[in-house]
Amino acid sequence: MSRLQDKVAIVTGASRGIGRAIALRLAGDGANLVVTATSLERAESVATEIEALGRKALPLACDVAEFEQVESLIKGTTETFSRIDILVNNAGITKDNLLIRMNQEQWDDVIAVNLKGTFNCIRAATKTLMKQRAGKIVNITSVVGIMGNAGQANYCASKAGVIGLTKSVARELAARNIQVNAVAPGFITTDMTAALPEEVKENLSEAIPLGRMGSPEEVAACVAYLASEDADYITGQVINVDGGMVM
Ligand code: NAI
């Protein structure tokens, strides 16, 4: 039997990059998926890929920053699958700028999606998870939430916030057998990092002990482990998937 056979997993921001890799990996491990993106069309495209793996997939449009939309996402999930075993909060954005030039919109938007979006999803899913007395929540943070990064004060604050949220919720839900952990990717090859100039990417790779950027699949492997029963005794942790960048 596969590790996540017939588990029901929600992955936010699953249309591309790390979220897509996580959704495909969980499906490969036997789970049925609810995949969300801001556009239904893009969610449908990854759902088709999941169905090709022989698993069920429910595509839904959902802006995680909007609590009502997140409530509909959870309702849609339980109506279709009757339960939620795994929630992966992956949706995230960047709006980089030096602090001196950062405007309120750049600050608010990044906090709204990355931090409030993670809260919204956890808040809306928790009642179901508590009733089940079982569940896994995996939040995608970032190594820069630990170490900081010039030009990303909004993003780093949001990701540091996700770490505090992870640890607090882990403590609150432990008695209900719900494990809450975070994965902190380093530099991963996705659309988010594609925009960086080649020179910057080369310099970054030099700062990584393993000497290269990571792949979305390498992040997905860690998420799949934390979402499985193999990780039943792990909660409140942040696991870096970063080639040794932060030790
Ligand atoms: P990406 O830009 O390729 O994909 C982001 C996904 O989030 C997309 O599916 C997008 O539609 C979705 N999304 C954006 N705003 C949303 C909203 N308001 N509601 C719902 N979904 C929304 O990014 P990537 O690289 O795949 O990043 C995924 C996660 O990993 C993010 O949380 C990011 O912060 C984090 N991360 C990425 C790293 C990297 O090097 N690529 C490093 C560390 C963390």
119-153 pLDDT, tens per residue? 999 999 999 999 999 999 999 999 999 999 999 99
Residue of the CA atom closest to atom 44 of ligand 1: 142
Find the mean pLDDT for residues 52-64: 98
Element (H, E) at 191: helix 191-194
Q: Which of 159, 190, 200, 215 to mutate to test the pocket of ligand 1 (most atoms within 8 A of CB)?
A: 190
DSSP sequence for 38-54 = SSHHHHHHHHHHHHTTT
Query: Does position 1 have pLDDT exceeding 90, yes or no?
Result: no
Residue of the CA atom closest to atom 39 of ligand 1: 188
Give me the pLDDT at residue 16, please: 96
203 band by pLDDT with thresholds 50, 70 and 90: confident
142 CB within 6 A, ligand 1: yes
50 CB within 6 A, ligand 1: no
Query: What is residue 240's three-state secondary structure?
Result: strand
pTM (2 d.p.): 0.98
Whole-angstrom Cα distance, residue 146 to residue 240?
Answer: 10
What would the two tokens of residue 38 be? 């801001």
Please choose, from the candidates 86, 90, 73, the residue with its C-alpha nearest in 3D space to the C-alpha of residue 26: 86
180-194 pLDDT, tens per residue? 999 999 999 998 888
